[in-house]
Amino acid sequence: MPNSGFSVLLSVNNMRRLMIGLGGTLEIALLSVAISVVAGLFYGLLMTSKNRVIYGICRVYLEAFRIVPMLVWLFLLFFGSAIAFGTNLDGFFVSVVAFSMWGTAEMGDIVRGSLISIPQHQRQSGEALGLSFWQTQRFIIIPQALRRIAPSAINLITRMVKTTSLVVFVGVTEILRVGKQIIEFNMMTNPMASFWIYGFIFAAYFMVCYPISKLSKKLEAKWSY
């Protein structure tokens, strides 16, 4: 029987390890996304501030994460913290912090954009009815802003999930790292292993991200008015 190399995926042990790796990826992604969405809402509200100093600081923070590659941030936090505090921070912890900081910046910009896109007339109509500032926000501005946030926020989430593959460089056990180990272990006996393992990782990312982007389409249709 010609060895197609597929057998590498049939090994229970390999499969178990890949799944644990996928779990690591998802754990970092989910934690960072959750933190980013909540913190990003407040950060976005802060960014609509008319105070120039507050806005300026927010802007610098956002640009810092836009301009500097994520990998550099990971290294900066991982090795920087070691030099600064003399302790080795856990790679998992550093990854969640770095991804949350990035996600918060991007999410905040999305929130800011959608808040300022609500026409001024909507606020005036609310006030003319006697609604207070916070009632106007709660019943009129935020519900409309949320609907506009959804598509770009979900786009950001899928980007975050994909970018977590970088955490392999700070020593976190995630799916890509596990895959490489399996490939290297089977290098001699199964030269086709890399094809099947990377194929599996491709499929795994697809299975995670596709439903998320599908959800975005669904929400868009449901919330259009």
Partner 1 sequence: MTMSTGAAEREYILEIEGLKKSYGDMAVLDGINLGIESGEAVVAIGPSGCGKTTLLKCVNGLETHQEGTIKIDGREIGADGFDWRQARQKIGMVFQSYDLFPHMTVMGNILLGPMQVQKRKREEVTEQADALLDRVGLADRKNDFPRQLSGGQKQRIAIVRALCMNPDIMLFDEVTASLDPEMVREVLDVMLGLARQGMTMLIVTHEMEFAKAVADRVLFMDGGIIAEEGSAREFFEKPTTERAQRFLNTFYFE
Judged by DSSP in three states, 132 sits in coil
Nearer to partner 1, 31 or 131 (CB): 131
What is the torsion angle, in degrees rounded to the nearest 10, for the CA atoms of residue 22, residue 27, residue 33 and residue 36? Answer: -140
Rule CB under 8 A: say whether 128 interacts with partner 1.
yes
Produce one character per residue of 170-186: b if its CB has 16 or more CB atoms within 10 Å, e if not. bebbbbbbbbbebbeeb
Number of chain residues interacting with partner 1 (CB under 8 A): 18
Nearer to partner 1, 52 or 121 (CB): 121
Among 140, 150, 156, 172, binds partner 1 (CB under 8 A): 140
Among 129, 187, 203, 215, binds partner 1 (CB under 8 A): 129
Q: How many CA atoms lie within 13 A of 53 on its CB side?
A: 0
Among 89, 127, 195, 198, binds partner 1 (CB under 8 A): 127
Rule CB under 8 A: say whether 147 interacts with partner 1.
yes
Q: How far apart are CA 168 and CA 175, in angstroms?
A: 9
Which tokens go with 19?
A: 């799944």
Judged by DSSP in three states, 26 sits in helix
Among 3, 88, 132, 189, binds partner 1 (CB under 8 A): 132
Among 3, 49, 122, 189, binds partner 1 (CB under 8 A): 122
Q: How many CB atoms lie within 10 A of CB 223?
A: 14
Q: Looking up tokens 């868009």, which residue turns up?
A: 220
Closest separation in Å from C-beta 127 to partner 1: 7
Q: Indicate the DSSP class of residue 169.
A: G
Q: Indicate the DSSP class of residue 130.
A: T
Closest separation in Å from C-beta 138 to partner 1: 9
With CB under 8 A as the contact rule, which of the stretches 60-68, 72-80, 141-149, 196-204 interacts with partner 1?
A: 141-149
Closest separation in Å from C-beta 118 to partner 1: 10
- What does the binding site for partner 1 look like in residue numbers (CB under 8 A)? 121-122, 124-132, 135, 139-140, 143-144, 147, 225
